[in-house]
Amino acid sequence: MDMRPKFKEASSIKRRGLSMAVVVFLSVGALWGCSSNENKSAGASKEAADASAKSASSIDVKAAGSLEAGKKVYNKYCHFCHGMEGRGDGPVSIGISPHPADFTTDTKRMSKTDAELLKSLNDGIKREIGGEAMFMPSWKTILTEQEKVDVLAYVRFLSQQGKKEADKATSR
């Protein structure tokens, strides 16, 4: 009879540890990517950021925003929560309650002015609704003013696409 203690094989433990390390590494990377400060120089003053945010409120998004550039920004930063088509069904949204905004059907949110939506991009969204926290990070130091205008133009485009789909469905 073998009286030696039974230990799991080292290779099994190493595999499990490596798998856990990969999961942790990817999770930290995803969180860091959502909050990185890669587009803003470290020396920029708060006053300059506030002034540029105020000037953004007077920008005509339809005239100044680029759909193509906005789609690139959206696909890089926003689709994780809002989904590829702006329906609030991105891969991260599964664990978020309430779900992120659905730009294709949320007429109340999309009826806000460009200045109000740009303010939400700059400041983020942090509030409690019915006991559930609603959160979107601030993009003030992550996106340039032009990127914010571009992504807003693209989000407006997604909203218009949603309206067209709804109109088609009701006219049948």
Can you give the residue range of the structural domain that contains 161? 65-167
Cβ count near 81 (within 10 Å): 20
Q: Specify if 18 maps to a domain.
A: no
pLDDT tens, position by position, 22-81: 444 444 444 445 444 444 444 444 454 455 445 545 556 666 899 999 999 999 999 999
Please name which of 163, 150, 82 lies closest in space to residue 114, comparing C-alpha atoms: 150
When divided into structural domains, the chain yields a total of 1
The larger pLDDT score, comparing residue 120 to residue 15, is at 120
Identity of the highest mean pLDDT range in 1-5, 13-17, 50-54, 63-67: 63-67
pLDDT tens-digit profile of 105-163? 988 889 999 999 999 999 999 877 777 677 899 999 999 999 999 999 999 999 999 88
Residue at 136 is within a domain: yes
Half-sphere exposure of 166 (CA within 13 A, CB side): 11
pLDDT of residue 20: 54
Beta carbons of 114 and 61 less than 8 angstroms apart: yes
Q: What is the pLDDT of residue 86?
A: 95
Within-domain flag for 124: yes
CATH code of the domain containing 70: 1.10.760.10
At 160, list the tokens.
């218009």
Whether residue 33 is contained in a domain is answered as no
Closest CA to 151 of 56, 31, 43: 56
How many helices and strands, by DSSP H and E, does the chain display? 8, 2
In a domain? residue 156: yes
pLDDT of residue 87: 94
Chain Cα centroid distance, residue 101: 10
